Amino acid sequence: MTSYVQRQEKAKFGEDRDAEMRLKNNRLGMTIFQASWIMVFLALIVVNWQLRFSYAQWPPEGVAPFDPLLPSAATLALILSALLARRGWQALRLGKLGVFLMSWRLNMALGVVFMAIILVEFTVVSEAALATQYGVTMRLMTGFHLAHALAIMAVMLRVYRQAGRGSYSGDPRDSWPVEGAVKLWYFVTVAWLMFYVVLYWLR
C-alpha cells in the first residue's frame, strides 16, 4: 500500500530536494517531539502510582472506584477517530479530497464525543474521591489530557478547513499540516490509552 502511494506521488510530483529535506526533518522532528512529550504523561502516571502508596488500598477506603463503562466507550470512540484520521490522510495522498473530508468530519465528531465523555468524567468526580488523591490525580490526568486533545482538535479543525479550500494537494511535501495533525492525534490516542489503563484498570 505505502509503496504504491509513494510511487503515485513520485509520478505525480517529481523530485524536489529541499522540499524532501523539509519533509524528512518534519517527520523526524515530530517523532522526537512525540517521544519527548509522552514523558510528561509518563511523569503523571508516576505521580498516580507513587501516591497510591500513601493509602492502605487503592481506591482509598470509602471511595467508590470509577466506573469504566463510559470511559471505555470514549476510548473506543477515540481509537475509531484516530483510524478515521489515518484513513482520510491516506485518501488525500491518493488525491481523493472528498473521502478525506468525509472521514475527517466523522473523525472530529468522534473526537468531540470522546472529549465530551471525558469532560463529564472530569466534572462528576464524587466528593469522597476528591478528598483523596484518587480523585485529584484522576482530575489532574484527565484535565491535562483534555487540554491537549482540545488544542489538537483545534489544529485538526483548521487543517480540515484549509483542506476544504483545496490548500493541500496530497503530496506529503506540501501537505505536512495534514500529516502533522494526524500524528498529533495519534499521540493523543496513545497518551489516553496509557491513562485509561492506569486510571480505570490498575487497582
Binding site for other proteins (CB under 8 A): 21, 24-25, 28-29, 32-33, 35-40, 42-44, 46-47, 50-51, 53-55, 60, 132-133, 136-137, 140, 144
How many beta carbons lie within 10 A of that of residue 16, not counting itself? 13
**Of 36 and 123, which has the nearer Cβ to other proteins?**
36
Distance from the Cα of residue 105 to its chain's centroid: 16
Distances 171 to 22, 72, 122 between C-alpha atoms, Å? 13, 36, 40
- d(C-alpha 110, C-alpha 104), whole Å: 10
What is the nearest approach in angstroms of other proteins to the Cβ of residue 164?
26
**Of 129 and 181, which has the nearer Cβ to other proteins?**
129
Distances 67 to 35, 64, 149, 194 between C-alpha atoms, Å? 30, 9, 22, 17
Question: Three cell numbers at 100?
Answer: 478525506
Residue 163 in 3-state DSSP?
helix
What is the nearest approach in angstroms of other proteins to the Cβ of residue 24?
5
What is the nearest approach in angstroms of other proteins to the Cβ of residue 93?
22
**Of 28 and 151, which has the nearer Cβ to other proteins?**
28
Which ranges of the chain would DSSP assign to H, the alpha helix?
Answer: 2-13, 17-52, 69-93, 97-123, 127-130, 133-164, 176-196
- Under a CB-based contact definition with an 8 Å cutoff, are residues 185 and 152 in contact? yes
What is the nearest approach in angstroms of other proteins to the Cβ of residue 41?
8
What is the nearest approach in angstroms of other proteins to the Cβ of residue 54?
5
**Of 39 and 73, which has the nearer Cβ to other proteins?**
39
**Of 8 and 26, which has the nearer Cβ to other proteins?**
26
